[in-house]
Structure 1
Amino acid sequence: MVGRRKKEAFQNLKDRFKQRIDNWSTRHLSQGGKEVFIKAILQAILMYTMACFLLPKTLCADLESIIAKFRWQKGHGQRGIHWCTWNDLCIAKEQGGLGFRSLDQFNIALLAKQGLKSKIFSKFRFHPCVVSVWTVKGLLQDGLCWHIGKGDRISVWNDCWIPGVDINRSNDNANNTEIELVSDLIETTTRKWKNDLIQNTFPENTAQKILQIPLAEEEHEDFQVWRGEHSGEFTVRSAYKLLQEATMDPSALLIQTETKDFYRKL
């Protein structure tokens, strides 16, 4: 049972994690072997727990520190030089890193999957009854976008339904805020957008993007899709990538080529 004293509750997990590393610290592993061991075994040990609970940031930092020491240590457990930070190691391979997982971000991505599976919210409106799932509300709301059917479940000003548009910013320049639902913008008989109403309500750029959204000839219920995948299906991989992109330091991309060359020489 996890209560307020989370550090003590997860101590057993930390001990088992460290013991597994200690068992392998005396063995001679190449850098490639360590990479496989970290990704396939060490980080896999944590997956079940991270899929159920929000781990304290201090615990994630401690576990990452343990992994980093193992990654850089020399043979027989001798301490090695840390040539770069853990955050650098967590950069995606296509961007010059080694693709290790940032534990706190991966924790949130796993919880997001549980959040979508759970029935604790109705019509995708979140209910703060489970702290761990409530924490990922922001990620899911950023990654989910409405596919328009009837439009009677979609808030014009509060939901994501216009591709590539931050609706909150569009709201600042809107002329008719009395409109509440997307269904108010659709002609029910012809299943076409109310062109004049949209042009008079939204900025020109936003209005054009709305008018380009296709409407089905027959009415169907509104449903949400995941923007991180072409299929619209949620994946932990795409959720984690979304978190990485949101926290990526732009300066990290400036040294992309140098970083790749550096890792090739290791």
Structure 2
Amino acid sequence: MEKLKGWKKLTLSQAGREILIKAVAQAIPAYPMNLFKFPNSFCQEMDALISKFWWGQKQGENRIHWVSREKLGRSKEDCGIGLRSFTLFNDALLAKQCWRLIVEPNSLWASVLKARYFPNCSFLKAKRGGRASWIWSSLLAGREILRNGAHWQIMDDNDTRVWVDRWLTSLPLGKPLPLGPVQVSKNLKVKSLICQESRGWDIDFLKPFLVDAEFAAILGTITGDPLLKDRLIWLYEKRGSYLVKAGYYWCLTHSSGRIPPPSLATNCPRALWKIIWKLETPPKI
């Protein structure tokens, strides 16, 4: 905050202000935000200071903010500036640590956390508890991103639950919903829907309880190597691994419906802007 107040005394172009914001003001808090959930009031105060600095506000003067803070947070490919929201970026960073906790269960730090907070269940099913540390409470806040955005890829189909876990990528909720007041078992595993000999779907008995779209979504799901365990994948990356950049964009487009998807927010083709921002200045001869 003191750095921002000092910068306000300088005469800088908007390009200079953008560089200072991204290289210093938004980079310094990134290290502690990897493990700690910062208070929303602090994040909002930082967002407000950066927004005032971006619009050239000095001392106690007030200047008009011609574009909302949410629009400034979009990437340049989506006709924004890329000034990240501290709250959403904090959550995206914490989700990365949660991802590491899931995919690297044998690491030292994962073993310590498991022994302390969830010795008898998986991380996705763990509860906060009455004596949770700041780090553990922060990780649980980032875990919600994986719960709502990640999907399970069916391999040996021993762990994924039909009605609870997200495993159908073509459905908005990622899982089927039973029609009407049908009582279903929440512990029903996906392996109950697969013929172990042919590895094909055997779900005719579920047809009366599913809508056609859900029935077709199950039939269209391809199972993987049965020798491997079901794994968590992030659909918004080609390799299926969670990245902070992809997680932040997911938070941006799903944060209480505040920001519409890029296709609705602008008429500019996203691919065109992506090409424009990657253009390089030709070398001087």
Query: TM-score band (shorter)?
Result: 0.7 to 0.9
Counterpart mapping for 1:202-213 below 5 A: 202-213=210-221
Query: How do 1:212-231 residues align onto structure 2 when only pairs under 5 Å count?
Result: 212-216=220-224, 218-231=226-239
After alignment, is 216-225 or 54-63 more displaced? 216-225
Counterpart Cα distance in 2 of 1:55 and 1:238:
21
In structure 2, what is the equivalent of residue 156 of structure 1? 162
**Post-superposition CA distance 1:168-199 (Å, at most 9, x none):** 66234596724700000011122111142343
Structure-2 separation of matches of 1:193 and 1:75:
65
Task: Describe the shift of the 1:142–1:36 C-alpha distance in structure 2 as closer, same or farther (beyond 3 A).
Answer: same
From the superposition, tell whether residues 190 and 257 of structure 1 become closer, same or farther in structure 2 (CA, over 3 Å).
closer
| TM-score normalized by the length of structure 1 | 0.79
Q: Quick check: 1:125 aligned with 2:124? A: yes
| Paired residue total | 241
* Structure 2 residue aligned with 1:106: 89
Match of 1:137 among 133, 140, 143: 143
- CA deviations 1:147-181 (Å, max 9, x no partner) are 10121100100000111222566234596724700
- In 2, distance between residues paired with 1:251 and 1:182? 32
Distance 1:222 1:252, change over 3 A: closer
Answer whether contact 1:173 1:202 (CA < 8 A) is retained. Answer: no
Deviation of 1:249 (Å): 3.5
Higher relative contact order (CA 8 A, sep 6+): 2
Q: Does 1:40 align with 2:23?
A: yes
**CA–CA separation in structure 2 for the residues paired with 1:57 and 1:44:** 18
Are residue 256 (structure 1) and residue 262 (structure 2) matched? no
Q: In structure 2, how many angstroms separate the alpha carbons of the residues matched to 1:215 and 1:173? A: 29
The equivalent position to 1:54 in structure 2, one of 37, 41, 54, is: 37
Range 87-96 or range 44-53, more displaced: 87-96
Is the alpha carbon distance of 1:167 and 1:99 closer, same or farther for their aligned partners in structure 2, counting shifts above 3 Å?
Answer: closer
SS at match of 1:21: helix
Asked whether the 8 Å contact 1:51–1:111 carries over to 2, the reply is yes
User: Residues 168, 207 of structure 1: CA spacing in aligned structure 2 closer, same or farther, 3 A cutoff?
Assistant: closer
Native 8 Å contact 1:106 1:240 kept in 2: yes
Q: Which one is further off, 112-121 or 181-190? A: 112-121
Distance between the aligned counterparts of 2:216 and 2:64, measured in 1? 55
In structure 1, what residue type is equivalent to 2:162? V
The Cα shift of 1:90 comes to 1.3
Q: Does 1:91 align with 2:74?
A: yes
Partner of 1:5: none
- Name stretches of at least 5 consecutive residues in structure 1 with no aligned partner: 1-17, 259-266
Q: State the SS of the aligned residue for 1:155.
A: coil
Query: What is the one-letter code of the residue matched to 2:86?
Result: L
Identity %: 28
For residues 160 and 112 of structure 1, the distance between their equivalents in structure 2, rounded to whole angstroms, comes to: 17
| Corresponding residue for residue 245 of structure 2 | 237
Q: Is the 8 A contact 2:150 2:234 kept in 1?
A: yes
CA contact 2:193–2:201 (8 Å) conserved in 1: yes
Distance 1:26 1:106, change over 3 A: same
Query: Which runs of no fewer than 5 residues in structure 2 stay unpaired?
Result: 102-109, 269-285
Would you say the 8 A contact 2:124–2:143 is kept in 1? no
State the alpha-carbon separation in 2 of the partners of residues 253 and 147 from structure 1: 28
Q: TM-score, normalised by structure 2?
A: 0.74
On the 8 A contact 1:25/1:76 being kept in 2, the answer is yes
Q: Specify whether residues 225 and 169 from structure 1 end up closer, same or farther in structure 2 by C-alpha distance, changes over 3 A only.
A: closer
Q: Which amino acid aligns with 1:25?
A: K
- 217 and 60 in structure 1: CA distance in 2 versus 1, 3 angstrom threshold: closer
1:54 and 1:108 in contact (8 A); partners too: yes
Moved more, 73-82 or 60-69: 73-82
Aligned to 1:65: 48
Kindly indicate whether residue 184 of structure 2 is the aligned counterpart of residue 177 of structure 1: yes
Aligned Cα root-mean-square deviation (Å): 2.8
Q: 1 or 2, which has the higher helix percentage?
A: 1
